[in-house]
Chain A
Amino acid sequence: MLPEITRSMLKNSLVLAAFAAMTVAVVAVTQQTTQSRIAEAERAAQVRALGEILPADSYDNELLDNVIYLHEPLLGHRKATPAYLASADGKPAAIIMQANAPDGYSGSINLLVGVLADGTLSGVRVIQHKETPGLGDQIELAKSPWIKNFDGKSLDNPNEHGWAVKKDRGEFDQFAGATITPRAVVGAVHKALQYFDQNHTELFAQLNTSEVSQ
């Protein structure tokens, strides 16, 4: 006969183990049933985000099947980051890449930059930032249309000196009370355009291979 304390420990741990098994089963079943829906929702959210930058009628391929991974210091990447290649009638149409502005007011600002094949910007959106609410957060489209200033701009329009905020004698507005945030965003978008200018042939070369493999 076991001492009472041992018996109670044994009994209690068995009860707990039974509970652990039961709860794990519940979570596993839920996970199994929601898995495909979650993948679908993630994909839909991505498509929506990309669609904001690049109008759906400007390309005819599946963006999410044309992903390349870039690890590019000029874009502020710290690890391999996905970029999406768009084509129309088999010809390069645009690229959507992530650019990271490391010099935001509080931490880095993550941007999605869409560049058309001719080097003009189709759009820029902020994916993630920690800027001050009410001041720096006007880089979000939900708060202010400022980010739309980039639409249609390119490396030559404005010229190199123009790619700065007005306080630095450039062409882009800053916001009242916040210069550092727009300065960081303008800088990152400018660098993304430079990167595209230097590398667009190689980038779009990868479009062809990915289409052949489909």
Chain B
Amino acid sequence: MSASFREISINGLWKNNPGLVQLLGLCPLLGTSNSTVNALGLAIATALVLICSNAAVSLIRNAVTNAVRLPAFVMIIAALTTCIELLMQAFTYELFQILGIFIPLITTNCMILGRAEAFAAKNTVLRSSYDGLMMGIGFGLVLVIIGATRELLGTGMLFTNMHLLFGSIAEHWQIIVFTDYKGFLLAILPPGAFLVLGLLIALKNWIDAYYTEHIASKTKVTTTVAADRRVRVTGAVD
């Protein structure tokens, strides 16, 4: 039984969001979310790697044996990350320098290996790529929301330095929301990332709880929660 495209979308964007529910890839999520441009840059890079790796893993899912599938997946992910890194260096050099170590670290983002193992290894190329896209957008949205919140709280401005990503047309995208703002340093520092992520998770849980209590009960929609099979990381020799 394979998930429909609608289910894949809902899973990636909300129900099984990698940033808010699975809590995978927290290191880059917290590390690069101190401004919108950094967050968006890493979100795009991660989503590209995720889409390509899901597609590639799905393509080869019948060719690799169970015992060596994980090293094979990791190799694919590492190669794709290196390619993205080279492309970023070639086309968005300054952003590449700002994001620094977080680009090569995409390889170790558990979300990517997690999707390869839990989804792409069992589904068609089209579905897997779509899952990569949706998970990538879900992760990216969380990253950008945290980045924008921290930038706004920390500096009183939004969309600073967007030209690093979009070129000279974005030179004047910066919005000064609070003039004469002294800055709230904590938001830019690492604790700010934890606080904003925590608040965001709380907000999501509150919305979910509100939905089940007020809306779902009125319309009497019965939802069956299918227990997802846990990701298995051990394999028999075959």
Least distance between A56 CB and chain B CB atoms (Å): 17
A88 at the interface (CB under 8 A from B): no
A80 at the interface (CB under 8 A from B): no
A55 at the interface (CB under 8 A from B): no
Contacts of B72 in A (CB 8 A): 15-16, 19
Please choose the segment from B14-22, B62-70, B219-227 that sits at the chain A interface, where 4 or more of its residues have CB less than 8 A away.
B62-70
- CB contacts under 8 Å to B, within A123-140, are 133-135
A8 at the interface (CB under 8 A from B): yes
Contacts of B60 in A (CB 8 A): 19
User: Number of A-B pairs whose CB atoms are under 8 Å?
Assistant: 71
Cβ-defined contact, B86 with A30, below 8 A = yes
A-B contact pairs, 9 of them (CB 8 A): A8-B238, A16-B72, A19-B60, A23-B76, A34-B86, A38-B89, A41-B89, A42-B93, A142-B161
A27 at the interface (CB under 8 A from B): yes
Mask: chain B, 67-92; 1 = CB below 8 Å from A; 0 = not:
11001100110111011001101110
* B interface, CB within 8 angstroms of A: 60, 63-65, 67-68, 71-72, 75-76, 78-80, 82-83, 86-87, 89-91, 93-94, 97, 154, 161, 183, 185, 188-189, 237-238
Cβ-defined contact, A38 with B86, below 8 A = yes
Cβ-defined contact, A23 with B78, below 8 A = yes
Cβ-defined contact, A23 with B75, below 8 A = yes
Cβ-defined contact, B65 with A12, below 8 A = yes
Cβ-defined contact, B68 with A133, below 8 A = no
Cβ-defined contact, B83 with A30, below 8 A = yes
Cβ-defined contact, B91 with A37, below 8 A = yes
Q: Give the residue name and chain of the B residue nearest to A29 (CB).
A: B83
Bound-state Cα–Cα, A170 to B87, Å = 48
Cβ-defined contact, A45 with B68, below 8 A = no
Bound-state Cα–Cα, A38 to B94, Å = 11
Bound-state Cα–Cα, A5 to B238, Å = 9
Cβ-defined contact, A8 with B188, below 8 A = no
Least distance between A61 CB and chain B CB atoms (Å): 24
Q: Give the residue name and chain of the A residue nearest to B93 (CB).
A: A41
Cβ-defined contact, A38 with B75, below 8 A = no
Bound-state Cα–Cα, A15 to B60, Å = 11
Given A8-B238, A133-B188; 13 other pairs, CB 8 A cutoff: A8-B67, A16-B71, A16-B72, A23-B75, A23-B78, A26-B83, A27-B83, A30-B86, A34-B86, A34-B90, A41-B91, A133-B185, A134-B154
Least distance between A92 CB and chain B CB atoms (Å): 31
Mask: chain A, 1-34; 1 = CB below 8 Å from B; 0 = not:
0000100100111011001100110110011001
Contacts of B71 in A (CB 8 A): 16, 19
Contacts of A133 in B (CB 8 A): 185, 188-189
Least distance between B86 CB and chain A CB atoms (Å): 5
Cβ-defined contact, A26 with B68, below 8 A = no
- Given A23-B75, A42-B93 in contact, is the A16-B185 Cβ separation under 8 Å? no
Q: Which of A26, A34, A38, A135 contacts B79 (CB 8 A)?
A: A26
Cβ-defined contact, B63 with A15, below 8 A = yes
Contacts of A5 in B (CB 8 A): 237
Q: Which of B63, B79, B238 contacts A27 (CB 8 A)?
A: B79
A74 at the interface (CB under 8 A from B): no
Contacts of A8 in B (CB 8 A): 65, 67, 237-238
Bound-state Cα–Cα, A30 to B87, Å = 8
Contacts of B79 in A (CB 8 A): 23-24, 26-27
